[in-house]
Structure 1
Amino acid sequence: MFLDFARFRYDEHHTYLEIYYMLYNLDPNQVGTREVNLEFYLQDISKDSLLAKNNLKVTMEPPSATGENGIQGSVIKTVLPEGRYSIKMVRMSDDKMTGIDSLYHEITAPTFSKENKIVLSDIELCSNIKTGAVNRNGLFYKNTMEVYPNPMRMYNEETPRLFYYLEMYNLKSEVPGAKVDVEIAIADTDGKIITNKRYSKNQTQESAVEVGSFDVSDYKNGLYTLIYAVVDKTSNYSVYTRANFYIMKPGQTDQEFLTLFPQSEFATASEAELDEMFDQAGYIANKEEVQIYQSLDTVESKRMFLFRF
């Protein structure tokens, strides 16, 4: 199971939160469809109060039916006032009595009122973005596009292109002909820029949607950071946002990974158990592998790394 999120502006004092989750099939021998039960929790940390508890059902197709081992993804959308929150997703056993996997994130819902200074949303890392003929009623439709999130944040031979989506606010300027400078870059764990794009953007609209992609098929295995930066020279102001992603290109294909990984001990291991496993096997890891593991900041990424280690 994988869990990710992105925060967008709803209004000056409210965040539009999108929560992305993805499930893989734990039973490679499944015949016919089956329902997977999830429990979702939204907590207000500052008030120590439970805002929502939802029981979700996801229909998993058998591996042979989809070509992708029945992997399924979805999104939860909600509006939150400024504050500190936590989200938790629990995958339940078939009898709904016990949790067999859980993921947790703490989230700050920021203010989008910055005295007319440019504000950026989070970067939504995507597996694909479709334009043109799209399904306007689809779950992943927004701003004339179908935007498919990648909660795994993993790219390899079968997902060789990284797509991104973000929004820019408070962009409009009263200065005639005003423009901002934009740079989008990918950096490695040492902070070295691998590739970048630069362009200028007119400040004629209050907000803007920014989408694009990078070919990451030639990247070596490891952790990378996508950085989106804006410089407003007129007001002497700059702002940036970033998102980590992973290149993991094993000998297995995506389909083989999704068959073998759910059956492994790593698929439901806790973060403490994963750290212990790596410590025990650390003597065979090279310096680069140690640096990569130490830089991983989610349970999901550690699970994948150790499975492929």
Structure 2
Amino acid sequence: MKNLSFLLLFIAIQINAQNLFDFDYAQFGYDSTSNYLEFYYSFNQKSMKVSPLDSINVVKGILQISIEDTSSGQKIVDKEWRVSHQVSDSGEAGSKYLIGVVGFIVPHGSYKCMIGGRDVKDEKNQKIYTEYLTSGRFITEQISISDIQLASRIIQDSPNTESIFYKNSMEIYPIPSSVFGENQPVVFYYSELYNLLRISGSEHLKLISSVYNSKRKIVFSKSKPISRSYDSRVEVGSIVVNKYPTDTYTFVIALIDSTANYGVSSSKKFYVFNPSIAITDTMTGQVSGVFASEFGVMADEELDDLFNKSKYISSSAEVDKYDKISTTEGKREFLYNFWKDRDNDPSTPENEFYKLYLTKVTLSNQRYGSLSRIGWKSDRGRVFIIHGEPSEIERYPNQVDTKPYEIWYYNELEGGVIFVFGDLTGFSDYTLLHSTLRGELRDDNWIRRITTF
């Protein structure tokens, strides 16, 4: 009960503290080298001093933003903006927020951002935030999802193209505090999907939208097919939260290609303050990484299929452990940690090793499949997935005295090794005949197995 009381107190303080200034941000793909970074800000007019200006009353604030490249120490943005809003009386000032958005093209990299707001009439009344962020790659050869922008309202097919909130034929009104509930009962959201045509797979992708509470339980979920008609598209929607109890929630969008066994996800935390809705469960916790990842929305059969494809790099202990897991949640947690442990660069938002591995699985299916087996299960597929592209390949498809065979050279492995594959059946199902790599099948007389005379 103490945890619950603290959570309620924390959210209540956030609602009632009347902060002068709040902000949020989201990144969207711009090109192969940069993202478009948007900052959403709000000044609480109730916390600002009203001043007369030419027979009207106004509130004035100063927005400050600096963006520093952490690798070079160079500031790529260091600006101030003066913002103001007319109020008819002091009572109106207490009921509104001054909301806006500014955006920048930011090269991929890591940044330290300082975002602040202050009252022009009271310089002691200010709030400054520090945020560290990474500008990762959205425009790649793999499907990807932008950050999620939360909004208080979205007007689709808006004619108001001059609005600062206008984007992709819509007006999207941000809610920088990310607080919803009794005063804002609907969560609107906006995101962008990229690279839908860049890689072959199923004709339709599956988009899953889910909301998890602080106890890591799903309180909302829906899915729909996404056609690969265009390389990119916008995804907007809404969730009614007027019946959600006061809590911290995480919204997750996952895009799954079941055929390629590949998925990506994007997540966003928000808060609900509904003091009139009873809390039915007293335990609280933190949403773990798995629920904000693509693994958190995979079905049981998808998890099993992914782990089967992962066995080439699994230890026997890991295989035994996975085989003993009986719940979908347990399998999700296992695979999340399995790939997290193999992330070569945890400082980046993407797990490059995981993406590369699944890319090699997809390429194996395209290159090495036969009538009898899918490509990743073939001997050539296994070697390619584990070791990557060979340094050189010698192909002998039409020899008079031998069946078709290939010799793969890996010059960087153990000082140089080879793999020999032969099509023993005549149906393009190449079998490993010989290798000089330690631990692989070795048969120095392999040629006799493919000789035809």
TM range (shorter): 0.7 to 0.9
1:58-73 equivalent positions in 2, closer than 5 A: 58-62=83-87, 64=90, 66=92, 69-73=95-99
TM-score norm. by structure 2 comes to: 0.53
Work out the number of aligned pairs and report it.
257
Which residue pairs with 2:132 in the alignment? 106
Q: Aligned match of 1:11 in 31, 36, 51?
A: 31
Q: Aligned match of 1:219 in 228, 232, 244?
A: 244
Matching residue's letter, 1:84? S
1:235 is aligned to 2:260: yes
Which residue pairs with 1:87 in the alignment? 113
1:114-153 equivalent positions in 2, closer than 5 A: 114=140, 116-153=141-178
Which residue pairs with 2:217 in the alignment? 192
C-alpha spacing 1:108/1:217, structure 2 compared with 1 (3 Å): same
In 1, distance between residues paired with 2:198 and 2:109? Answer: 29
Which residue pairs with 1:276 in the alignment? none
Matching residue's letter, 2:69? D
TM-score norm. by structure 1 comes to: 0.75
Which residue pairs with 2:204 in the alignment? 179
In 2, distance between residues paired with 1:129 and 1:138? Answer: 13
Per-residue Cα deviation, 1:260-292 (whole angstroms, up to 9, x for no partner): xxxxxxxxxxxxxxxxxxxxxxxxxxx959x47
Which residue pairs with 1:25 in the alignment? 45
C-alpha spacing 1:132/1:92, structure 2 compared with 1 (3 Å): closer
Report if the CA contact (8 A) 1:90-1:99 is conserved.
Answer: no
Report if the CA contact (8 A) 1:167-1:210 is conserved.
Answer: yes
Q: Secondary structure at the match of 1:126?
A: strand
Which residue pairs with 1:275 in the alignment? none
Q: Report which of the two structures shows the higher radius of gyration computed on alpha carbons.
A: 2
- Name stretches of at least 5 consecutive residues in structure 1 with no aligned partner: 252-286, 296-309
C-alpha spacing 1:288/1:3, structure 2 compared with 1 (3 Å): farther
Q: Secondary structure at the match of 2:226?
A: strand
In 1, distance between residues paired with 2:109 and 2:42? Answer: 26
Per-residue Cα deviation, 1:134-169 (whole angstroms, up to 9, x for no partner): 311110101111111111100022210000000010
Q: Secondary structure at the match of 1:12?
A: coil
Please provide the CA RMSD for this pair.
2.6
Matching residue's letter, 1:100? Q
Report if the CA contact (8 A) 1:13-1:111 is conserved.
Answer: yes
Report if the CA contact (8 A) 1:177-1:202 is conserved.
Answer: no
The percent of aligned pairs where both chains have the same amino acid is 27
1:203 is aligned to 2:223: no
C-alpha spacing 1:56/1:250, structure 2 compared with 1 (3 Å): farther
In 1, distance between residues paired with 2:116 and 2:198? Answer: 45
- Name stretches of at least 5 consecutive residues in structure 2 with no aligned partner: 1-20, 52-56, 288-453
Higher helix share: 2
Matching residue's letter, 2:62? N
In 2, distance between residues paired with 1:28 and 1:99? Answer: 8
Higher strand share: 1
Higher relative contact order (Cα pairs below 8 Å, separated by 6+ residues): 1
Tell me the CA shift for residue 29 of structure 1.
7.2
